């Protein structure tokens, strides 16, 4: 099958053999596609090679035969974000999530749109946590495994003053008031869930409460093998807590 003029985002690229790349992209019409880009490592192919960097938005032509397609042509459509520091780690996380959870050759236009929004958030370099939580929500929805955030698993409205854990299959489940401090600290506030449902950025404390519950949902769908970006985030956090002496 020939794919012509597909708009896509580059998720990952790695060297293959002497002059080629193995590339993963998220296309608007054909979903995630694995590609072999032959002969792009030569000195005269730097324009094409630059177009195949992660986060780049491109227009491409592909001969798709089997699991991997052959890249026929590609051109950059804009200037990709150039994240640094925490934004770079966030970009790696976004791409890894899509690579692990989005099936190949399955059109997911809602995911393509969510990725475009998150990519723009990385470009702005503000509100990274909110950018990531919105993308996690939209990713689950696009894959068909999302759930309502304004009502709990029993169908009752979310109480802004309560705390909730997120069941990967059923959605929010209210924590009883007699639960320990540690369990409650790992649960999302009702205010945060309602804000995420309405796409309104919550306060910093409420936003922070969404991270671990959403991670538990994603971990369920990822299976026993977690994400490398989670390991990197954990290592970075330990280094920051240790201070300068850790270097």
pLDDT value of position 30: 95
Over range 137-154, report the average pLDDT: 97
CATH number of 86-246: 1.20.1440.120
84-127 pLDDT tens trace: 989 999 999 999 999 999 999 999 999 999 999 999 999 987 79
In this chain, the answer to whether the domains covering 2-76 and 86-246 adopt an identical fold is no
The two beta strands, 68-76 and 31-37, are parallel
9-56 pLDDT tens trace: 999 999 888 888 999 999 999 999 999 998 887 665 677 888 999 999
pLDDT value of position 8: 98
Strand order from edge to edge, sheet including 163-167: 171-174, 163-167, 188-189
Torsion of CA 136, 162, 191, 213, to 10 degrees: -10
pLDDT value of position 78: 94
pLDDT value of position 103: 96
175-207 pLDDT tens trace: 987 666 678 888 999 999 999 999 999 999 999
pLDDT classification of 245: cutoffs 50, 70, 90: very low
For the chain, which residues make up each domain, given as ranges? 2-76, 86-246
Query: Which residues of 28-77 form beta strands (DSSP E)?
Result: 31-37, 57-64, 68-76
Give the phi and the psi of residue 9 in degrees, each rounded to 5.
Answer: -110, 135
pLDDT value of position 247: 36
On the question of pLDDT at 237 being above 70, the answer is no
Is it true that domain 2-76 has CATH number 2.40.50.140?
yes
pLDDT value of position 44: 56
pLDDT value of position 179: 65
């Amino acid at each position: 099958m020939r794919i012509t003029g597909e708009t896509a985002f580059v998720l990952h690229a790695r060297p293959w053999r002497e002059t080629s790349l193995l590339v993963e992209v998220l296309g608007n019409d054909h979903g995630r596609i694995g590609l072999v880009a032959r002969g792009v490592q030569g000195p005269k192919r730097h324009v094409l090679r630059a177009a195949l960097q992660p986060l780049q938005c491109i227009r491409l032509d592909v001969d798709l035969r089997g699991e991997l397609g052959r890249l026929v042509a590609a051109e950059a459509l804009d200037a990709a974000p150039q994240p640094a520091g925490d934004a770079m780690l966030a970009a790696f996380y976004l791409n890894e999530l899509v690579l692990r959870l989005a099936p190949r050759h399955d059109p997911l236009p809602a995911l393509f749109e969510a990725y475009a929004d998150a990519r723009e958030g990385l470009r702005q370099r503000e509100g990274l946590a909110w950018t990531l939580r919105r993308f996690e929500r939209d990713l689950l929805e696009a894959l068909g495994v999302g759930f309502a955030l304004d009502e709990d698993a029993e169908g009752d409205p979310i109480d802004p003053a309560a705390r909730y854990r997120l069941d990967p299959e059923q959605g929010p489940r209210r924590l009883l008031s007699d639960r320990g401090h540690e369990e409650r600290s790992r649960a999302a506030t009702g205010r945060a869930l309602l804000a995420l449902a309405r796409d309104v950025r919550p306060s910093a404390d409420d936003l922070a409460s969404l991270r671990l519950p959403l991670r538990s949902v994603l971990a369920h769908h990822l299976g026993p093998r977690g994400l490398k970006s989670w390991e990197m985030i954990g290592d970075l956090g330990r280094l920051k807590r240790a201070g300068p002496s850790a270097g």
